[in-house]
Structure 1
Amino acid sequence: MLIQLLRTQLRPYRTWLTLVVALQFLSTLAMLFLPHINAKIIDQGVARGDVGYIWSMGGVMLAVSLGQILCSVIAVWFSARTSMGFGRDVRRQVFHRVGSFSSREIAQFGAPSLITRGTNDVQQVQMLVLMGLTMLVSAPIMMAGGIIMAMREELGLSWLLAITVPALLVTVGFIISRMVPGFKVMQVRIDTVNRILREQVTGIRVVRAFVREPEEKARFAAANEDLTVVARSTGRWMGTMFPTVMLIMNVSIVGVYWFGGHRIDSGEMQIGSLTAFMSYLMQILMSVMMATFMLVQVPRAAVCAERISEVLDTDASVRPPVAPVTLEDPRGMVTFDGVGFAYPGAGDPVLTDISFTALPGQTTAFVGSTGAGKSTLVDLVPRLYDATAGAVRVDGVDVRDLDPEALWSLIGIVPQKSFLFSGTVRSNLQVGKGDATDEEMWAALRVAQGEDFVRALPEGLDAPVAQGGSNFSGGQRQRLAIARALVRKPKIVVFDDSFSALDVATDARLRRALPEVTSESTVLLVAQRVSSILDADQIVVLDDGRIVGVGTHHSLLEECPTYQEIVRSQLTEEEVA
């Protein structure tokens, strides 16, 4: 997964990658020649007292050093640009893919996991790209070139390389093999911590209302401790790696000085060659350390790449049509033709054989017990889900054949749970219609019964809205959500139990004002309170996912026992009459 992700996402940066590889290659070659030049200066210049030779070779050494620095700086600059661009592109693709998911895929992954995958996981792979471009190219060249140059300088000490390098590689490989399982578990437990923290922050009122602080603290502490245990275990292995590498390096240095000193004493070796051999040994071991840094990142990045690829490779269950149809003169008539719906893996369908027609200029209400499938039914119209049987049609065309943008432009939705974006009242209303004028926004607020409290705010339409609208009451959030849907003057308006937070008087005023903007629209209204739907043109009664009655309030009172039971449970006999 990691290689596939890197190959796919780095394809646009092939020119930069080629340049980085070339610059790193030149920089590494320069580093390999510096010890050789230094050995020449010591053995032929210093030993003979040849000042001219020292100056000339010193100039060469300085020029090579400057060239090596210049190549390294440019390579690192392009490496950073490439890795940052890679991270930007992957985050954008993950975001767009998540944005195309239906409610089914969102529930499958979970919001906390999707957040982690789009932030922390991408960052881990991005760091691997940066370290790979700065170290992966130079490390193998430095190792192979260092071995060749060291043996060229002094073949008598080359047996030390045959012991040191394999010992270092075996040790590092063993440690990394112990770290990989820990990294896999760590990412899963980070998801768990994020999920619990998100639940506690969003549900803080419930936690405090039921005095659940101690239990929630214990739940978070347990998840945090699980993550800490894995991180500590993995960290121990990671912490073991570098002392082990340094130990092998220091033992190697002692061995070079010990055996090299004896060879110099016997006249078999010159001091410059010992210095060069030591430099090459350090370069070889440093290249192993650089590779170690890379190998530490690879297991965790591989896990993260797999999680990112899961998101990118998941196709949305709600797909745009191959040949989308666009309505020339949309009216907004909604028809359910034998519609059925079942969630994946569910034993029984949520909806079965749903058939009715909602006409423009009329209000079609849905009522039934909790779990009857009312919200799922209206979610099929804007394709938050796709029907698993039958067809949902708008103006006679299956919604699965309509151009998604054209379909969504016809619909204004007020969800069951009112949600506001951080920003201002104005920016939230402009989510419904981006070019809405102040007059249009005030008109929508007037119908939604939100004009009074918005005008009372010092900033009016520019009043700030906190994340989720937490600085407004539930009723105010609901009215702003209604105004957001109405400001676009949609052909189809979906109210998914959108009046539950309103008092009876506000509810009545709102229903009286709605015909101002919905007189030519198809209104689909999910309600729990019968008093909200008494005047509906058509009431659809649902029970266990099936239609048990369709008609007006008065006709259903005479013909539908389920509706009669719902009415008697909410209204007095005088109100029923």
Structure 2
Amino acid sequence: MLKQLWPYTKGYRQWIAVGVICSAAEAVFELLIPLVMADIVDIGIANGDVNYIAVKGLTMVAMAIISLCFGVGAAFFSSRAGFGLGANLRDAQFAHIQDFAFENIERFSTASLITRMTSDVNAIQVTLMMGIRLMVRAPVMLVTALVLAIFISVQLSLSFAVAIPVLVVFIGMMLVRVGPLFKKLQACIDGLNLAVQEDVTNIRVVKSFAQEDYQNAQFDEKNQDLKKASQTAFGTVITIMPTMMLVIYATIIAVLWFGGQMVFAGDLEVGKLTSMFTYVTQILMALMMVSMVSMQATRAIACAKRVCEVLSETPAISDNGNQDLLVEHGTITFENVSFKYHKDAPNWILENINLTIPAGATVGVLGATGSAKTTLVSLIPRLYEADSGVVSVGGRPVRDYTLHNLRNSVAMVLQQNTLFSGTILENLRWGNPEATEEQVLKACESACVDEFLDRMEDGLNTDLGQGGVNVSGGQKQRLCIARAILKQPKILILDDSTSAVDTATDAKIRKAFAEDLGDTTKIIIAQRISSVMDADLILVMDDGRISAQGIHGDLMERSEIYRSIYDAQQKGVDDNG
């Protein structure tokens, strides 16, 4: 575990080293103070030597100030190291997640990934900070104080022979018990985050179905699970405190009892007994600090395992193509392609697909819900990997390209239109960061965005809000289409992305495609036959297979599925007309 996390301390290892030195120095100077105090009592006060008392007093003040300075330094450097490690872990996870295929994302869930990048990383960085401060300070204090206590009185030091083993055994038992509890606690946090994410993301659906009470009940269930897991985990940890305090106070009483008898017998001086009492307290408090850090470390280990799971996850789709190979044209071929989402699934999602699409062609894809239309086009930019057969783009298998080069030549407008926080201009430039305002406006015109852009208060600089909440569904679709057009791709895929616009606007957009994207291969998945009727090729999908392909007139004669869709839609038009 430490071996996996160590590389992410790069850039902050010097602060870890300096923090360790400061913590050790702080403990040493703090432990020297009782020795000076013993001299003041046994020599200065006993002899009435005011000058000796003053010199030793100033020495104690100097040691306290030096110890304070080292303590401040330890806190400062440990904080820098801890927060630096946290930042590196978050950066590494986020960057690695960008390489994940959908299969990898689904394995963890979005809520769990968020927890691993926030709560889990926070627990790790806090543990590092506590470790530098306490796990260094405590052992140094424990060993040094024990040596000094033995130096003062071997007899009184025997009390540690009982107290320390008892505390160590008890701490070990607690660590074994709380490890699984903290793992369960983090899983409950995942569940709570998932409940919040689903509710906030789908709040419109919740309200439209008046399911607020149901969602509240779901959240309360996850919240109660987290409360119980927290109470069990931290309740177990808390029980260590009274037990340790009992051992500490019993040891102090024993030292005072036997030490007092030795003072009366003349075998021990009062100042040394005072120092001994201080060392007893410091030794046992050091063990308490070790136990506290150990508990935090137990939680951090559970969190570190979860973080390392993300960092060690192998992307399902690897980038092993030629860095210099670019997609030259939009020709697409499928040769005996089959696919299923899970290797052990009994049935194929796509089976034995053979298809050739020439560059610049417009292809329509129709089919019932669940006929694998979206899955088919997702294989083109390698959002999913074909299990058998070969998918080729530009005359080469898609695996010959790097993911960046391949996907940079393909623009997809998905069923779920996604916009990001920021202005319209910032969102559109996702398609082409170097696009001029003139090019942006041209893309807006092609996607019919200009029809509502003039009504926006700040035009292209209008803030869309989180997820584009300030625009309607149809406006969001047109903005996503404009973003794809601005990319000037070799292949443009529209996955039912004009469903929220009227037929007249749909026709305008398709006309703009023909005029502005003549060399681009256009694949249009649609529910309306009118959206693909004029396509160069129409595919009819049925249960993961291409049931028929051809132009409108041919399919009306040869494809019963196509004809039934057409008749149903035409009847709907006649009934409304």
TM-based fold match above 0.5: yes
Q: Determine the C-alpha separation between the residues in 2 that align with 1:19 and 1:195.
A: 41
Residue 155 of structure 1 aligns with which residue? Answer: 154
Deviation at 1:209, TM superposition (A): 2.0
- SS across alignment from 1:423: coil
Pair 1:48 & 2:25 matched: no
Deviation at 1:211, TM superposition (A): 2.1
Deviation at 1:27, TM superposition (A): 2.2
- SS across alignment from 1:469: coil
Deviation at 1:488, TM superposition (A): 1.6
Pair 1:330 & 2:291 matched: no
Deviation at 1:35, TM superposition (A): 1.3
Q: Determine the C-alpha separation between the residues in 1 that align with 2:186 and 2:246.
A: 31
Match of 1:340 among 326, 338, 341: 338
Deviation at 1:93, TM superposition (A): 0.6
Q: Determine the C-alpha separation between the residues in 1 that align with 2:454 and 2:246.
A: 73
The AA in structure 2 aligned to 1:260 is G
Deviation at 1:574, TM superposition (A): 9.7
Superposed, 1:92-103 pairs within 5 Å as 92-103=91-102
Residue 395 of structure 1 aligns with which residue? Answer: 394
| Aligned-pair Cα RMSD in Å | 1.8
Q: Determine the C-alpha separation between the residues in 2 that align with 1:398 and 1:507.
A: 33
Deviation at 1:361, TM superposition (A): 2.2
Deviation at 1:384, TM superposition (A): 0.8
- SS across alignment from 1:34: helix
Superposed, 1:225-264 pairs within 5 Å as 225-264=224-263
Q: Determine the C-alpha separation between the residues in 1 that align with 2:390 and 2:124.
A: 43
Say if 1:366 and 1:526, in contact at 8 Å, map to a contact too.
Answer: yes
Residue 378 of structure 1 aligns with which residue? Answer: 377
Deviation at 1:498, TM superposition (A): 0.7
Residue 496 of structure 1 aligns with which residue? Answer: 495
CA deviation map 1:360-391 (0-9, x unaligned):
22201111111111101111111111111111
Residue 111 of structure 1 aligns with which residue? Answer: 110
Residue 218 of structure 1 aligns with which residue? Answer: 217
Q: Determine the C-alpha separation between the residues in 2 that align with 1:200 and 1:27.
A: 50
Superposed, 1:98-497 pairs within 5 Å as 98-321=97-320, 323-327=322-326, 330-344=328-342, 345-497=344-496
- SS across alignment from 1:343: coil
CA deviation map 1:186-214 (0-9, x unaligned):
11111111111111112222222222222
Say if 2:490 and 2:521, in contact at 8 Å, map to a contact too.
Answer: yes
Q: Determine the C-alpha separation between the residues in 2 that align with 1:400 and 1:331.
A: 16
The AA in structure 2 aligned to 1:340 is S
CA deviation map 1:268-319 (0-9, x unaligned):
1111111111111111112112112211111211111111111111111111
- SS across alignment from 2:412: strand
Deviation at 1:404, TM superposition (A): 2.1
Say if 2:321 and 2:401, in contact at 8 Å, map to a contact too.
Answer: no
Residue 32 of structure 1 aligns with which residue? Answer: 31
Q: Determine the C-alpha separation between the residues in 1 that align with 2:367 and 2:253.
A: 84
Superposed, 1:70-81 pairs within 5 Å as 70-81=69-80
- SS across alignment from 2:427: helix
Q: Determine the C-alpha separation between the residues in 2 that align with 1:91 and 1:435.
A: 29
Residue 570 of structure 2 aligns with which residue? Answer: 571
Say if 1:325 and 1:401, in contact at 8 Å, map to a contact too.
Answer: no
Aligned residues: 573
Deviation at 1:120, TM superposition (A): 0.8
Q: Determine the C-alpha separation between the residues in 2 that align with 1:337 and 1:455.
A: 47
Q: Determine the C-alpha separation between the residues in 2 that align with 1:294 and 1:404.
A: 44
The AA in structure 2 aligned to 1:138 is R
Comparing 169-178 with 114-123, greater Cα deviation is found at: 169-178
Q: Determine the C-alpha separation between the residues in 2 that align with 1:497 and 1:120.
A: 38
The AA in structure 1 aligned to 2:425 is R
Deviation at 1:104, TM superposition (A): 1.1
Q: Determine the C-alpha separation between the residues in 2 that align with 1:170 and 1:409.
A: 60
Q: Determine the C-alpha separation between the residues in 1 that align with 2:488 and 2:5.
A: 46
CA deviation map 1:140-178 (0-9, x unaligned):
111111111111111221122122222222333333333
Say if 1:176 and 1:296, in contact at 8 Å, map to a contact too.
Answer: yes
Comparing 17-26 with 467-476, greater Cα deviation is found at: 17-26
Deviation at 1:10, TM superposition (A): 2.5
Deviation at 1:32, TM superposition (A): 2.2
CA deviation map 1:14-39 (0-9, x unaligned):
33333332332222222222211211
Say if 2:9 and 2:88, in contact at 8 Å, map to a contact too.
Answer: no
Residue 531 of structure 1 aligns with which residue? Answer: 530
The AA in structure 2 aligned to 1:27 is E
Deviation at 1:11, TM superposition (A): 4.9
Q: Determine the C-alpha separation between the residues in 2 that align with 1:187 and 1:25.
A: 33
Say if 1:489 and 1:518, in contact at 8 Å, map to a contact too.
Answer: yes
Q: Determine the C-alpha separation between the residues in 1 that align with 2:572 and 2:533.
A: 14
Q: Determine the C-alpha separation between the residues in 1 that align with 2:83 and 2:203.
A: 37
Comparing 165-174 with 400-409, greater Cα deviation is found at: 165-174
Q: Which runs of 5+ in 1 are unaligned?
A: none
Say if 1:361 and 1:521, in contact at 8 Å, map to a contact too.
Answer: yes
Deviation at 1:481, TM superposition (A): 0.7
- SS across alignment from 1:467: coil
TM-score relative to the length of structure 2 = 0.95
Q: Determine the C-alpha separation between the residues in 2 that align with 1:428 and 1:22.
A: 50
Say if 2:321 and 2:399, in contact at 8 Å, map to a contact too.
Answer: no
The AA in structure 2 aligned to 1:419 is T
Q: What percentage of residue pairs aligned between the two structures are identical?
A: 38
Q: Determine the C-alpha separation between the residues in 2 that align with 1:348 and 1:283.
A: 68
The AA in structure 1 aligned to 2:277 is M
Say if 2:13 and 2:81, in contact at 8 Å, map to a contact too.
Answer: no
- SS across alignment from 1:366: strand
CA deviation map 1:229-269 (0-9, x unaligned):
11112222222222333333233323322222222112111
Q: Determine the C-alpha separation between the residues in 2 that align with 1:73 and 1:193.
A: 38
The AA in structure 2 aligned to 1:342 is K
The AA in structure 1 aligned to 2:329 is R
Q: Determine the C-alpha separation between the residues in 2 that align with 1:95 and 1:531.
A: 42
Q: Determine the C-alpha separation between the residues in 1 that align with 2:256 and 2:324.
A: 81
Q: Determine the C-alpha separation between the residues in 2 that align with 1:237 and 1:508.
A: 67
Q: Determine the C-alpha separation between the residues in 1 that align with 2:572 and 2:86.
A: 65
Deviation at 1:103, TM superposition (A): 1.1
- SS across alignment from 2:399: coil
CA deviation map 1:443-490 (0-9, x unaligned):
111111111212101111111112111222111111111111111211
- SS across alignment from 1:413: strand
The AA in structure 2 aligned to 1:343 is Y
Q: Determine the C-alpha separation between the residues in 2 that align with 1:270 and 1:293.
A: 35
Q: Which runs of 5+ in 2 are unaligned?
A: none
The AA in structure 1 aligned to 2:16 is L
Deviation at 1:573, TM superposition (A): 10
Q: Determine the C-alpha separation between the residues in 1 that align with 2:24 and 2:3.
A: 25
Comparing 348-357 with 70-79, greater Cα deviation is found at: 70-79
Q: Determine the C-alpha separation between the residues in 2 that align with 1:147 and 1:452.
A: 82
Q: Determine the C-alpha separation between the residues in 2 that align with 1:265 and 1:255.
A: 16
- SS across alignment from 1:290: helix
Deviation at 1:508, TM superposition (A): 1.9
Q: Determine the C-alpha separation between the residues in 1 that align with 2:358 and 2:3.
A: 51
Q: 1:86 to 1:374 in 2, by over 3 A?
A: same
